Amino acid sequence: MARSAAGEWLSYGMSVGRPSLRNRLGRLYPSLFAPLHFHLSRVELRRLLANEFSSTGLWRTTCAYRGFGWFADISAWQIESEYCELVEWVARQRPRVILEIGTAKGATLLAWSRIASELVASVDLPGGIHGGGYSPVKEKLFREFVTDRPGVEMLIFRGDSHDSTLCDRVKAVLGGRTIDFLFIDGDHTYAGVSRDFELWTPLVTPGGHVAFHDIVPHRELKDCQVDHFWREVKAGHPNFEIIADQQQGWAGIGVLELSGLHP
């Protein structure tokens, strides 16, 4: 006998290993009511997105959206002015294909989903060293970002962006298409960000762009070293920076243009 939708969600919520009773009970509520929570969250998202095409409108959407259960929260780990300036700039480039590494709660994925004309893709490692990640159930909400945009495809890959096998999978799914805009916001260690740049830029369209988040030296996280890599890599490419305040102690966005020759 086929299980009900609620039964499927409940089974998922209670089947991960042998969690403590407290954790099991904590999963019970959102799992049991997941079908209802998804419906209510989708209605809320659709209402907030109606006629919102500006960067500030998208930012307001990420702030206002609450959602329910597994589908709560699409807030940004960004500074508002930097987010809006980047989103406006990317929109002016009219990219066909956008890929981001590091999705976290989904605010930047939402923006790319409203901008890309053919395909938007997310690569995210649940439980990565700098946080982020999301329940696999939340993929269903992320796919809602493009349901009102016929012809725009959403691809979601949960895995290690440093894994060449995963990169090969993405390349195969692209089917000869290249990435017009690549947003790197995953592993922030020097080794991590350099690996992402090395592995994924060969998939970027010649003349396309790569952006990095957290190029400002981080005041608290010493293993956040994107600023070190940014200082090195920007010397070899046309680039610009989006920084609200040089003394802010985190965030900041750097954008590179890749010429015909990949690094």
Give CA–CA dist 254/124, Å, rounded: 20
Contact (CB, 8 A) for 112 and 101: no
Residue 214 has pLDDT above 90, yes or no: yes
Q: What are the CA-CA distances from residue 204 to residues 89, 100, 155, 182, 200 (Å)?
A: 17, 12, 16, 7, 7
Residue 40 has pLDDT above 60, yes or no: yes
pLDDT band at residue 135, thresholds of 50, 70 and 90?
Answer: confident
- What is the reported pLDDT for 9? 44
What is the reported pTM? 0.87
Domains of the chain: total? 1
Instruction: Decide if 207 is inside a domain.
Output: yes
Instruction: Decide if 1 is inside a domain.
Output: no
Report the side by side order of strands in the sheet with 239-242. Answer: 153-158, 119-124, 97-101, 179-184, 204-213, 253-257, 239-242
Instruction: Decide if 57 is inside a domain.
Output: no
* Phi, psi torsion values for 21, nearest 5 degrees: -60, -40
Residue 90 has pLDDT above 70, yes or no: yes
Instruction: Decide if 25 is inside a domain.
Output: no
Instruction: Decide if 36 is inside a domain.
Output: no
Q: Residue 139 is part of a domain; what is its CATH number? A: 3.40.50.150
- What is the reported pLDDT for 130? 56
Residue 16 has pLDDT above 70, yes or no: no
Residue 21 has pLDDT above 70, yes or no: no
Share of the chain above pLDDT 90, in %: 78
pLDDT in tens, 176-213: 999 999 999 999 999 999 999 999 999 999 999 999 99
Residue 3 has pLDDT above 80, yes or no: no
Nearest Cα to Cα of residue 254 among 74, 199, 235 = 235
Range of the domain at 224: 62-257
Instruction: Decide if 31 is inside a domain.
Output: no
User: Beta-carbon neighbour count of residue 210 at 10 Å?
Assistant: 23
Q: Taken in order 259, 263, 203, 128, is the CA torsion positive or negative?
A: negative
- What is the reported pLDDT for 51? 74
Instruction: Decide if 194 is inside a domain.
Output: yes
Strand 204-213 to 253-257 pairing: antiparallel
Residue 1 has pLDDT above 60, yes or no: no
Residue 224 has pLDDT above 90, yes or no: yes
Residue 262 has pLDDT above 90, yes or no: no
pLDDT band at residue 128, thresholds of 50, 70 and 90?
Answer: low
Instruction: Decide if 44 is inside a domain.
Output: no
Quickly list H helices, 96-254. 107-115, 139-143, 164-174, 190-200, 226-233
- What is the reported pLDDT for 207? 96
- What is the reported pLDDT for 254? 98
pLDDT in tens, 94-106: 999 999 999 999 9
